[in-house]
Amino acid sequence: MNRIASIRRTVRSLHSTASTINPDEIDFFSRLASQWWDPRGEFALLHRMNPVRVGFIRDKIIQTLDEDITPLDHLSPTRSARILDGMEALDIGCGGGLLAESLARLGARTTGVDASESNIKIAALHASADARLTTGINYRYGSAEEMVAEGKKFDLVCSMEVLEHVNNPRTFLTSCADLVKPGGHLFLSTISRTPLSYFLAIFMAEHALRLVRPGTHDYSKFVKPSELVEFFQHPDLAWISRTYGGIPIRKEAEIRGLIYNPLEGAWKTLPAGLSGTQCNYLFWARKPNLS
Amino acid sequence: MLCARPLLFRSACLSKSIPSRPFSKDSAAASYDVVIVGGGLSGLALAAAIGSLPLARELLNIALVDASDLTRKYNWNSDPHTYSSSVCSITNASREFLDSIGVWQHVEQSRTSPIESMQVWDGISNSRICFSNSDIDPGGSIFEMARLTENLNLHRALLHRLDEIPGRVELIDQVKVESITRSGTWPVVNLSGGRSLQTRLLIGADGFKSPVRSFAQIGSSGWAYPSHAVVGTLHHPSSNHPQHNTTAYQRFLPTGPIAFLPLTKEVSTVVWSTSVQLASILRSVHPDVLAHLINAAFRLPEVSIRYLHSILLERGADGITPESITEEIKFRENAHGIGPHSALYSSDVVSLGVGIPPIGSEAYPPLVHSVQAGSQASFPLKLSHADSYVGEGVGERTALVGDAAHTVHPLAGQGLNMGLEDARVLAQTIGEALSLGGDIGSYISLIPYHTARYAPNHAIISVIDKLHKLYSLTSPPAVWARSVGLEVLNELGPIKSALMGVAGSKTKQDMAEPLQHYGAAGWHAAATVVESLSGGIRTGKVVAGSLGGLVSSLVQNAAKNTRG
């Protein structure tokens, strides 16, 4: 009973703060939250996706670290095994803490934010069981907008499988971009708006195979990679200076298709570019340095 | 002097120096990332492989628990003329793995023997398959097919390697696992003496009766074969045998296969699988009687072997003297017209060891002069395969390797190699999870290990089991079918080389490439062949079914292998 009351409070408070968070969805995911950490449960697809998206984050970070090394530094590339050591990371829409825990284990001082209070409770509870995580992770109930208002900045901002659920993607993306330090990284994963994504993410995943609960996704909220590129290319942000055939240059942003093989039960990333981005995809962009 | 033992055991010393704590088990539970239960070869190899991961130093706290005295194995130092009868065949793939984790350099090379060829034949029809290095590469750039050594030699090497990895693997020996419980979702291993280890990931390397498997509620299926294996160390000095004792021999008798495995130029090991009653007699007969019986078992026609078995069963171990068994063997040799100039002659070992050996001697192992005192032993044979190698739900945060996951008949010498490959893949899986910030105990982190190992192990288990069953048949159609099968197989280079890929052969050019795919293809080819043979025999379609099926599957697989 307490939980339902807290969700009602959450919903009311969210209405009053005119946030981008959709109240119906908070209610929906709170009901699912207790199943977050069951690898064979309702979030099985997300559990299976996590290593792949962490791999994407890891590889982009390593690549930029390598490229940032000036010839002088080049003699001492002794990097810690924990590649995110010394970084501040933010996971927006952290859910039960799947990605946040991985970021913390890789060395980042991680903040996980979620619009569902019960998700935050589950995430904190789960992390507290692991002595190696207790110092590197911090969860808070709230929204990206609240973090912006507080003037917080991070080296690494991630928001995975969230964009396709928000009511006002433009405001949400602006907040995400604001939270990144100059020279920092933004990682998103979401679903494109194509006939294929309707067929796979809604018809097959929700209705035919029941991999995901029906009602999880709303086709009209799906975001195309080209729309993301356009958003970050706009002079207001100018994270992307130019594109070639719709593809941004490698040092500024990257799009990678993400496909699920139901027979292997495994996700796989495709090479950088627009091929295979008709359904799930990963997006990375780097905020320009002030200089 | 409390810690006069080598560096390796400082932790064990430490654990003993702490008196049992006054508070409850839970509050005393030390926290680990990996606890391995079982200090056998697979468990130690896994510890060395995980300990050698580049990320392990910073991120993992590892312990290995074993009931035996590991210090004795660490200090093993055998007299150069005595050999343990407990031996293993290490394929080239396994050796490459042991080398990559820094273990092979600690193996005493003078106590290992290369296998350059293998001779395998049918106990009834005598149809034979020969594997040699020329099958793989006629150019002759192959050095060997596998390496034989005493288990203790490898055991000691593993412990010495672990000693080199400071502070990373804590060895806790001479303790029993009293119980395994849970604290939240984390397993807690409660040891005799009151110590408790809470762990992120619990690995069962604890053998056939695996307590970790029971704790994880992972089922397993299998059965005990109605046979035991007898082992012994064989001495065959001043041999004039045409080979330099680098050939392994195996004869499939209806009671089970008998294998002759070289250890040095003058020393070998026998692994003789036979009925439980015969095994108990062979284990306790006078060593000289066993020596005569082994020589005869590789040479006399099957009908005479059966006769010798009936004498053993009638008189028991104490009722047979070396003289009486020699007389019996001589009698059978006379009956078959086998004289002193035949390669099948064995009743006068001493006179055969000098001068020019009879024609065809290389088809049989060197004549055994004596069995090393105290080396005779026997053990039961089993087949089992766990339903999963990774626990989930009530069994979460557990994984199984080696005999805890699978037990096979020793006829193909694959048991240890399967366990080492498990260790290699599990360590690699853990390394990958670490580099992705994963929780190494989670089902999601561990499932790639299960996926990579389950099917290949299953293929090996089923081929070994079917080979065993196939060769225990004595009906003429079955013998005919399997003999044709073996002879056809002997003529087909690609399948043979694939099978040898598993046996561990490789060319120097292949050194850089991982051997595992090669091996898997071989077992799949072999699985199909054996499937056709045994399927044909079972259904009675011996002529049309098995031969037709056999040839077509051979051709298909040959094509697959040459492509792949």
- Give DSSP secondary structure letters for chain A: -HHHHHHHHHHHHHHHTT-S--HHHHHHHHHHGGGTT-TTSTTHHHHHHHHHHHHHHHHHHHHHHHHH--TTGGG-----SSTTTT-EEEEET-TTTHHHHHHHHTT-EEEEEES-HHHHHHHHHHHHT-TTTTTTEEEEES-HHHHHHTT--EEEEEEES-GGG-S-HHHHHHHHHHTEEEEEEEEEEEE--SHHHIIIIIIIIIIIS-SS-TTS--GGG---HHHHHHHHHSTTT-----EETTEEPTTTEEEEEEEEETTTTEEEEEEESSTT-SSEEEEEEEPPP--
CA dist., res. B35 & res. B392, Å (int): 17
Q: Are B420 and B96 in contact (CB under 8 A)?
A: no
Judge: A130–B200 Cβ closer than 8 Å, yes or no: yes
Question: Which of B123, B87, B118 has the alpha carbon at shortest distance from B467?
Answer: B123
- Residues A158-170: pLDDT tens digits? 999 999 999 899 9
Q: Is the dihedral of CA B487, B489, B492, B497 positive or negative?
A: negative
Nearest CB partner across the interface for B437, out of A40, A80, A102: A102
Helix and strand numbers (H, E) in chain B are 20, 19
Yes or no, beta carbons of A102 and B445 under 8 Å apart: no
Whether B31 contacts chain A with CB within 8 A:
yes
| Mode of pairing for the β-strands spanning B256-262 and B186-191 | unpaired
Q: In this complex, which of B57, B184, B438 lies closest to A102 when CB atoms are compared?
A: B438
Q: Which helix (H) or strand (E) holds B33?
A: strand B30-37
In this prediction, residue A250 carries a pLDDT of 86
Q: Which of B414, B553, B415 is nearest to B494 (CA)?
A: B553
* Helices within B222-266 (DSSP H only): none
Sequential pLDDT tens for chain B (564 residues)? 333 334 344 343 333 333 333 333 344 578 999 999 999 999 999 999 999 988 887 789 999 999 999 999 999 988 888 999 999 999 888 999 999 999 999 999 999 999 888 888 888 887 888 877 666 555 555 568 889 999 999 999 999 999 998 777 999 999 999 999 998 889 999 999 899 999 999 999 999 999 999 999 999 998 888 999 999 999 998 666 767 888 999 998 888 889 999 999 899 999 999 999 999 999 999 999 999 999 999 999 999 999 999 999 999 989 999 999 999 999 999 988 888 778 888 877 766 666 777 888 888 999 999 999 999 999 999 899 999 999 998 899 999 999 999 998 887 778 899 999 999 999 999 999 999 999 999 999 999 999 999 998 888 888 778 777 777 777 777 777 666 666 666 665 555 555 555 444 443 334 334 444 445 555 555 655 555 555 544 443 333 333 333 434 444 444 444 333
Note the Cα B260 to chain centre separation in Å: 14
Residue pLDDT, tens place only, A11-29: 333 333 445 666 675 555 5
Interface of B with A in 32-91 (CB under 8 A): 33, 54-55, 57-59
Nearest to B270 by CA among B353, B187, B371, B123: B371
Mean pLDDT across A116-125:
86
Alpha-carbon gap: A191 to the closest alpha carbon of chain B (Å): 23
**Which residues of B123-213 form beta strands (DSSP E)?**
128-132, 146-150, 169-172, 177-183, 186-191, 196-204
**Closest among B33, B46, B30, B31 to B400, alpha carbons compared:** B46
Q: How many CB atoms lie within 10 A of CB B351?
A: 10
B442 contacts A58? CB cut-off 8 A: no
Instruction: Please indicate if the annotation marks A87 as binding a ligand.
Output: no
Pick the residue of A102, A110, A187, A264 with the most B CBs within 10 A to test the interface with B by mutation.
Answer: A102
Residues of B in contact with A104 (CB under 8 A): 437
User: Which of B34, B436, B440, B454 to substitute to test the interface with A, most A CBs within 10 Å?
Assistant: B436
Helix or strand holding residue B62 (H, E): strand B62-65
- The number of C-beta contacts closer than 8 angstroms across A and B is 54
Question: In B422-456, which positions are buried (b, 16+ CB within 10 angstroms) versus exposed (e)?
Answer: bbbbbbbbbbbbbbbbbbbbbbbbbbbbbbbbbeb
Phi-psi region of B193 (alpha: psi -120 to 50; beta: other; left: phi over 0): left
Dump pLDDT digits (tens) for A222-247.
999 999 999 999 998 999 999 998 88
* C-alpha–C-alpha distance, residues A40 and A48, integer Å: 10
Q: Nearest Cα to B241, choosing from B338, B361, B341?
A: B361
CB < 8 Å to A101, chain B: 437, 439
- Name the DSSP letter for residue B66: -
Q: What is the pLDDT of residue A197?
A: 87
Q: Provide the residue ranges of all domains of chain A, joining segments of one domain with +.
A: 2-49+82-190+225-255+281-286
Chain B residues close to A41, C-beta within 8 Å: none
| Tokens coding B157 | 């090497």
Token pair in block for residue B31: 């926290």
* A161 marked among binding-site residues: yes
Q: What is the spatial distance between Cα B415 and Cα B408, in angstroms, rounded to a whole number?
A: 6
Among residues B41, B8, B29, the alpha carbon closest in space to that of B404 is found at B41
Output the six-digit token pair for A54. 């962490």
Domains and CATH numbers, chain B: 30-79+86-107+150-222+382-456 (3.50.50.60), 227-379 (3.30.9.10), 458-563 (no CATH)
Q: How far, in Å, CA of B421 to CA of B534, rounded?
A: 28
Element (H, E) at B64: strand B62-65
User: Greater confidence, A82 or B452?
Assistant: B452
CATH number of A2-49+82-190+225-255+281-286: 3.40.50.150
- ipTM entry: 0.83
Instruction: Inspect the interface and report whether the beta carbons of A47 and B435 lie closer than 8 Å.
Output: no
Question: Distance between CA A31 and CA A27 in Å, rounded?
Answer: 7
Residues with Cβ within 8 Å of A112's Cβ and at least 6 positions away in sequence, in order, are A90, A91, A94, A97, A100, A120, A123, A137, A138, A139, A140
